[in-house]
Amino acid sequence: MLQKRLASQILKCSASRIRFNPERLADIKEAITRQDVRSLIAERAITKLPAAGISRARIRFAADQRRKGRRKGAGSRKGSKTARLSGKADWIARIRLQRAFLGQIRAKGLVEKSVFNDLYRKAKGGFFRNRRHIKLYINEQKLFVAKK
């Protein structure tokens, strides 16, 4: 349709976004020049539909699920374990946790100073996997101070 093509050129949009007023179809049919189409646009007989956006509802839902810890299985991963969390960052997190725990047991007086120093050095050397491993080691070696 000529009028739709002219209107799309004038309004700088796709022909699919041009809307004709159904009550003014007779006037629109008679419009054959650009000037005629411009006057119909001014009279609101021809209008431009708003551009359709892309819904972000699905993206928001997925992001919400990821915040909860979902969608992070093996099939969703691209990088290696060390690419996703560097070895250094992993070490920092682990050693801080272990040192905090050792500081707590020292503050409570559960181990002697010499034992604390030994455990601290072992932690620094990477001997312990995690806090639970330290507890296990202390219990196995019977390093806790005997309660009086």
Residue 61: inside a domain: no
97-140 pLDDT, tens per residue?
A: 999 999 999 999 999 999 999 999 999 999 999 999 999 999 99
Query: Which residue reads 């708003």 in tokens?
Result: 50
Residue 75 located in a structural domain: no
Closest CA to 4 of 34, 44, 42: 34
Which residue type sits at 122? K
Number of independent structural domains in the chain: 2
CA-CA-CA-CA torsion sign (88, 91, 97, 100): negative
What the block records as the tokens of 90 is 């992993």
The pTM assigned to this predicted structure is 0.59
Based on the fold, state whether residues 44 and 90 are members of the same structural domain.
no
Q: Is residue 104 a part of any domain in this protein? A: yes
**Residues 78-93: tens digit of each pLDDT:** 999 999 999 999 999 9
Question: The domain that contains 128 carries what CATH number?
Answer: 1.10.1200.60
Give the separation between CA 113 and CA 71, rounded to whole angstroms. 46
Element (H, E) at 28: helix 25-30
Tokens matching residue 13: 């949009």
Backbone angles phi, psi at 20, to 5 degrees: -100, 140
